Structure 1
Amino acid sequence: MPSFAFDAIGAPWQVDTPLPLSGAERGAIRRIAGDFDAAWSRFRSDSTVSRLRNAPGEVTLPPESAALAELYRALYRLTEGALSPIVGAALEHWGYGPGYRLTPLSGAPAPRPWDSSVRWSGTTLAADAPVVLDIGAAGKGCLAGLLARALDAAGHTDYTVDASGDLANRGTSLRVGLEHPFQPGQAIGVVELGDGALCASATNRRAWGDGLHHILDARTGLPVTTVAATWVLAADPAVADGLATALFSVPGETLAAEFACDYVRMFTDGRVELSPTLPGEVFRSAPAR
């Protein structure tokens, strides 16, 4: 299957289709990805969200903001504040920010409750004090969904959008391995992905020091320690991505009570939790680190 490879939001992406994409289609994909980065990246000083980094104010975000705001509010509620879009300052405290310092500052970050910090509704985001917005919990999935909808609109009925391992798929079903977080190249299981999305998250994907990685508990500002990796199947890529991050804080059944999804959650001691309707299998409990 022909592939169109490109970089977006700091990671390699690939779109696979039965026939090569036209030049106009490739250009449209690059524009969508570029516009998304220009709006949402906290790593860019000129992005829309970065206007609130140093001063309070109000910004107007792209149309996808409305659904993102609703998703984040639901995940914030279901995780009792552990997943929050204003965790960016804590990530940068630990070194994961513009310039990729990857060296933590002294002390501990000072978490802030979402509702007392920002007002995000529809496409409007307002802050009474400087704030570092971070949509990393669902960002790749959101962009994958935008690209999938563009392919749908162009008449494509068989494609895969591969966002560095997070997948949005339509048409031909895929058999996808679930990569072991402690033993890259090995799988702890396999799932069947039809029309929909499969998103994963793991503490080893962006790790830069002893116990330092990109998945934080927003209530404490500290990296999570009990869950090593998660996978979620859902119809919408942004939902799958956001739920995969939420699984680091709450059981899958809590999320499945409100969102139609299947999931796998692997703990740092090797135990595995999975949904009863998972379209696939987990081979065995994986060894701990």
Structure 2
Amino acid sequence: MGFPVSLRVDDEDVPVARAADAVFAWLREVDARFSPFRADSEVSRYDRGDLERHQLSDDLVEVLDLCEHYRLATGGAFDVRLPGRGLDPCAVVKGWSVQRAADLLTAAGAQRFVLNAGGDVVVSGGPWRVGVRHPEHADKLCTVLELTDAAVATSARYERGNHILDARTGHPATGLLAMTVVTPTLTEADAVATAAFAMGAEGIGWAASLPGCEVFAVDGEGRVLRTGGFPAVRGSTAAA
């Protein structure tokens, strides 16, 4: 899916190599099954009409249901089917698949670990400190979080440019510079961060209203807005 993955496991009694092998085997399987850039993937076959809905795997049905949930919840700002483009559920698949990988680690007995997938992070145990990159200065952090048994995801323009579109207009979403979301699972954190970014400035309040969701956002004017429960280390937040 085009993002680096790193894993740290601090449990002495866990067979780390075996657990890591299971994690990366699962992520390779996800890439093969759900990548819209592979002609033989389940996603591509479904998009071409080679598969009917009732023929899909339970996993893809779950992903598509999540995509539809966020399309409806954002009033259509988030949509994995854009005019002139094929089905691309990557914005949901990433967080969903990495959370599944974290669940594999837990099932293997790991209680203290960090799984980082392209800057989106799941932690078990803790506390762990996780830095959030400044949206305009690559060598700086805009805040540092302290997390225990949680997940954090950020959507921004600094890595891939204006790649997130507001599906209501078909134009790039430019109302925010960055949106960071903390929730209990990366499935939710990643999807909410992307969906809120697609909504623009109104996405801040929408994300903040969701149960168990803490938000740190930098709007188009460089103003920092965050919820009261956002787990930033005291004194770590810098002005954007």
Query: What TM-score does the superposition give when structure 1 sets the normalisation length?
Result: 0.73
Q: 2:2 matched to 1:35?
A: no
Q: Distance in 2 between matches of 1:88 and 1:154?
A: 43
Q: Distance in 1 between matches of 2:84 and 2:39?
A: 14
Shift of 1:160: 0.9
Shift of 1:65: 3.5
Q: 2:219 matched to 1:224?
A: no
Amino acid in the other structure paired with 2:174: T
Unaligned 5+ runs, structure 1:
1-8, 91-131, 208-212
Q: Distance in 1 between matches of 2:83 and 2:153?
A: 21
Residue 118 (structure 2) aligns with: 164
Residue 76 (structure 1) aligns with: 71
Q: 2:152 matched to 1:193?
A: no
More helix by share: 2
* Aligned 1:1-289 pairs, distance under 5 A: 9-18=1-10, 19=12, 21-55=15-49, 57-59=51-53, 60-87=55-82, 89-90=84-85, 132-207=86-161, 213-248=162-197, 249=199, 250-280=202-232, 283-286=237-240
Q: Distance in 2 between matches of 1:67 and 1:88?
A: 23
Shift of 1:225: 1.4
Q: What SS does structure 2 have at the residue aligned with 1:269?
A: coil
**Identity over aligned pairs, percent:** 31
Shift of 1:284: 4.0
Q: What SS does structure 1 have at the residue aligned with 2:179?
A: strand
Shift of 1:21: 4.4
Shift of 1:57: 4.6
- Work out whether residues 252 and 275 of structure 1, in 8 Å CA contact, stay in contact via their aligned partners in 2: no
Unaligned 5+ runs, structure 2:
none
Shift of 1:67: 4.1
Residues 277 and 25 (structure 1 numbering): CA distance in 2 closer, same or farther, change over 3 Å?
closer
Q: Distance in 2 between matches of 1:161 and 1:61?
A: 28
- Work out whether residues 35 and 90 of structure 2, in 8 Å CA contact, stay in contact via their aligned partners in 1: no
Query: Deviation digits for residues 83-137 of structure 1, max 9, x if unmatched?
Result: 01213844xxxxxxxxxxxxxxxxxxxxxxxxxxxxxxxxxxxxxxxxx221222
Amino acid in the other structure paired with 1:71: L
More strand by share: 1
- Work out whether residues 253 and 275 of structure 1, in 8 Å CA contact, stay in contact via their aligned partners in 2: no
Q: What SS does structure 1 have at the residue aligned with 2:104?
A: helix
Shift of 1:258: 3.4
Shift of 1:191: 1.6
- Work out whether residues 247 and 265 of structure 1, in 8 Å CA contact, stay in contact via their aligned partners in 2: no
Shift of 1:142: 0.9
Shift of 1:29: 1.8
Q: What SS does structure 1 have at the residue aligned with 2:58?
A: coil
Q: CA RMSD in A?
A: 2.2
Shift of 1:169: 0.6
Query: What TM-score does the superposition give when structure 2 sets the normalisation length?
Result: 0.87
- Work out whether residues 71 and 239 of structure 1, in 8 Å CA contact, stay in contact via their aligned partners in 2: no
Q: Distance in 1 between matches of 2:189 and 2:140?
A: 22
- Work out whether residues 27 and 98 of structure 2, in 8 Å CA contact, stay in contact via their aligned partners in 1: no
Residues 87 and 174 (structure 1 numbering): CA distance in 2 closer, same or farther, change over 3 Å?
farther
- Work out whether residues 9 and 16 of structure 2, in 8 Å CA contact, stay in contact via their aligned partners in 1: no
